[in-house]
Amino acid sequence: MSLRFLRLAALLFVALPAVSQDRSADVQTAFSRARHLRHGINASEWFAQAGNYSAERTDRYTDADDIALMAKLGFDSVRLSIDAVPLEHSLLWGAANDDFLARLDRAVDAMLANGLAVQIDIHPEDAYKQHVKNTNEAVDRFTMLWRKLAAHYASRDPEKVLFEIMNEPEVSDPNRWAGIQAAAAAAIREAAPRNTIIATGPNYSGIDDLLTQHPLADGNVIYTFHFYEPPAFTHQGANWGLPWWTYIHGIPYPASESSLDLVKQVPNLADRFDFEGYWLDHWDAHRIRLMIDAAANWAKTYNVPLICNEFGAYRRVTDPASRMNWIRDVRTALEADSIGWTMWDYRGGFGVVWKEDGQPAKVDDNVVEALGLKGR
């Protein structure tokens, strides 16, 4: 064990009791702020997942009219995903002629001006995550980035600006992720003593990942998980993830044995056997509710607020009626357990609107209705 590690452990041991003089009061603050995240939307593929973050692109991809529309539709919050690399260039390296951070500020301020809470989400590409997963140097740089980012936004309304540590960290060891998350949370808290933190489980932030974690010592924390179960339905036709997803289309929800013949869309017999599980597991509203109940029970056990800040179904080849059924069943299950939600996503492949860059968005009224937003 290195001397550096021992010193860090000693510092954390000394610092933890000072994180909060009254943890119960901080927990109540977190519960109160979770009420701002009851029905949110993900602003995806804008400042993350795109590669191209030029002003020419970001100014046209999602604009002030889109932000106003989010509020008009009844969303109360936006999850703003941000790629770690351009953020580092702006905050850590001071890249010349870089207005990335200024454009982020305009987006955040426009959301706040429209009455929307903002989940500031560091949403790295896989290569960045792998460095954090495998090297302590990358963890140090990541916590440094959060210290700078939290300080930058600490002057905004702490009721409405929340800091999500990392999207789907892909760290397979839950204990290592717990340590990384605690270090990042401590850096955020040093720089932004009043803002609420959003924490998650390892891997891809599923319910099973959440259940591996114990709450942080810091009480002013909301916890989150993602829900895309079952992926054979939600990711049909997707060209990422399991290769055989690209073959499947028109898969109904709820699952009905009358449609079991659709397994023949998958040519490989082993993959076909895997795909059959969608029908054999009887996916319906009851099955979804039981899974979400498990997440709610974790939150009740530890007396912490919980949200689901990603759920959605890919729309390219999915039967629209089945997609609405699934969105409605997930949303109602979350609400039955008093879990706030943030749908994935605004204009992407899982979207609530159809939009071309620089053009007005066209709302999918069926999605809005499935989300229960009409009349809110």
Q: Where is 272: in which H helix or E strand? A: helix 269-280
Q: What is the pLDDT of residue 98?
A: 78
User: Each residue of 177-236: pLDDT tens digit?
Assistant: 999 999 999 999 999 999 999 999 999 999 999 999 999 999 999 999 999 999 999 999
- Burial classification of residue 319, based on how many CB atoms lie within 10 Å of its CB (0-12 exposed, 13-18 middle, 19 or more buried): middle
Q: 9-13, 142-146, 219-223: which has the minimum mean pLDDT?
A: 9-13
Is residue 368 scored above 70 in pLDDT? yes
Is residue 75 scored above 80 in pLDDT? yes
Rounded alpha-carbon distances, angstroms, from residue 54 to 50, 93, 186: 10, 18, 32
Q: What is the pLDDT of residue 103?
A: 97
Q: Tokens for 213, please give them.
A: 């974690």
User: Each residue of 116-138: pLDDT tens digit?
Assistant: 999 999 999 999 999 999 999 99
Omega before residue 230 within 30° of 0, cis: yes
Token pair 């939307």 is found at 41
- Residue 222 included in any domain: yes
Task: Read off the DSSP letter of residue 196.
Answer: P
Q: What is the pLDDT of residue 97?
A: 59
Domain range for 65: 20-370
pTM above 0.85, yes or no: yes
- Residue 124 included in any domain: yes
Rounded to whole angstroms, how far apart are CA atoms 34 and 32?
Answer: 5
Average pLDDT over residues 305-323: 98
Cβ atoms < 10 Å from Cβ of 123 = 24
The percentage of residues in the chain with a pLDDT greater than 90, rounded to a whole number, is: 90
- Residue 376 included in any domain: no
Instruction: List the Cα angle 83/84/85 in 5-degree steps.
Output: 95
- Residue 13 included in any domain: no
**Number of domain units in the chain:** 1
Please say whether the dihedral angle defined by the alpha carbons of residues 117, 296, 122 and 10, taken in this order, is positive or negative. Answer: positive
Is residue 12 scored above 90 in pLDDT? no
333 pLDDT tier (thresholds 50, 70, 90)? very high
Q: What is the pLDDT of residue 93?
A: 83
Q: What is the pLDDT of residue 178?
A: 98
Q: What is the pLDDT of residue 374?
A: 74
| Residues of the chain by 3-state class (helix, strand, coil), percent to 5 | 50, 15, 35
- Residue 10 included in any domain: no
User: Each residue of 238-294: pLDDT tens digit?
Assistant: 999 999 999 999 999 999 888 999 999 999 999 999 999 999 999 999 999 999 999
Query: How high does pLDDT run on average in the chain?
Result: 93
Rounded alpha-carbon distances, angstroms, from residue 78 to 69, 116, 194, 249: 12, 7, 20, 30
Q: What is the pLDDT of residue 150?
A: 98
- Residue 232 included in any domain: yes
CATH of residue 325: 3.20.20.80
- Residue 89 included in any domain: yes
Rounded to whole angstroms, how far apart are CA atoms 374 and 376?
Answer: 6
- Residue 335 included in any domain: yes
CA-based nearest residue to 230, from 330, 298, 308, 150: 330
